[in-house]
C-alpha cells in the first residue's frame, strides 16, 4: 500500500512524497520516537526537525 505525505519546505513550496507502506499502521505500531523517525525518513529531514514540530518549538 502506498501512503502520501505533503511536505511544505521552508521556502513555502510543497512536495507530495509517496511512502511504500501503510504509514498510519507503521506510525501506530512504532511509538512516539519511531513515529518521528518514520516521518523524518519519509520527508527526508532530520528527526530533530520533526521533534521541534511536535514540541511547538521553532
Give residue 18's pLDDT: 72
CB 5 within 8 A of CB 24: no
Residue 46 clears pLDDT 80, i.e. is over it = yes
Interval 15-40 mean pLDDT: 72
pTM for the structure as a whole:
0.44
Residue 31 clears pLDDT 60, i.e. is over it = yes
Residue 8 clears pLDDT 70, i.e. is over it = yes
CB 21 within 8 A of CB 6: no
**Domain residues of the chain, as ranges?**
22-58
Amino acid at each position: 500500500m502506498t501512503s502520501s505525505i505533503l511536505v511544505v519546505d521552508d521556502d513555502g513550496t510543497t512536495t507530495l512524497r509517496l511512502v511504500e507502506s501503510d504509514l498510519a499502521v507503521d506510525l501506530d505500531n512504532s511509538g512516539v520516537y519511531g513515529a518521528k523517525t518514520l516521518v523524518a525518513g519519509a520527508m527526508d529531514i532530520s528527526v530533530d526537525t520533526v521533534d521541534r514540530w511536535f514540541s511547538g518549538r521553532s
